[in-house]
Amino acid sequence: MSPSDEKLFPYYALAEKYNIPVGIHTGLAGPDHRSTNFKVSLGKPLFLEGLLQRFPKLKVWIMHAGAPFLEDTIAIMKYYPNVYADISVISNPYIFPKAEFNSIMGKLINAGLEDRLMFGSDNGDIKSAINNIEELVFLNAFQKRKIYYENAETFFTQ
């Protein structure tokens, strides 16, 4: 179902009322996901817009940075300041090749989203994910620190 399906609105209303962040799975599913009703088309971050308009104070994070729908992620994050994204899965070199991860991160940083990107592993190899981030030559130490933990601290505590 779409994350903006009205059946989910009571949950979003509670989350907004109590300032509880909501993570929405976006993008693709793994090869052995066993979700028989999974639809790639419903992984587009643009499907968040209905719930974001209905619940303007709701804190939402886009899981997996919406990959491969990066343009959607950037559009939603630029327009809705209460939306963050984690970089889990895309930082896993076994799922996204390093060159693709570098390209995605470059686009997110160039879009001005460095303050709303959060580290995540999604049960991947954390050491490999960290190495991928450390190898991003266009990120400085301050930006890396924000991605590793400061952005998440802001998102989850404010």
Three-class SS state of 118: strand
Q: Residue 83: beta bridge partners?
A: 60
Q: Can you tell me the distance from the alpha carbon of 134 to that of 137, in angstroms, rounded to the nearest whole number?
A: 8
Is the model's pLDDT at 102 over the cut of 80? yes
Q: Residue ranges per domain, the chain?
A: 6-29+36-157
Q: Residue 30: its pLDDT value, please?
A: 65
pTM: 0.94
Cα separations in angstroms, 145 against 1, 40, 61, 86, 153: 35, 32, 18, 14, 11
Say which residue the tokens 């979003």 belong to.
12
Q: Can you tell me the distance from the alpha carbon of 76 to that of 124, in angstroms, rounded to the nearest whole number?
A: 26
Q: Are the C-beta atoms of 71 and 108 separated by less than 8 Å?
A: no
| pLDDT (tens digit per residue) in 26-73 | 988 766 667 777 788 889 999 999 999 999 999 999 999 999 999 999
Is the model's pLDDT at 13 over the cut of 80? yes
Q: What percent of the chain lies above the pLDDT cut of 70?
A: 97
Q: Tell me the CB-side half-sphere exposure of residue 111, using CA atoms within 13 A.
A: 19
Cα separations in angstroms, 99 against 90, 95, 138, 158: 11, 12, 13, 34
For the chain, the average pLDDT equals: 94
Q: Residue 59: its pLDDT value, please?
A: 98
Class of the CATH-defined domain 6-29+36-157: alpha beta
| pLDDT (tens digit per residue) in 124-139 | 899 999 999 999 999 9
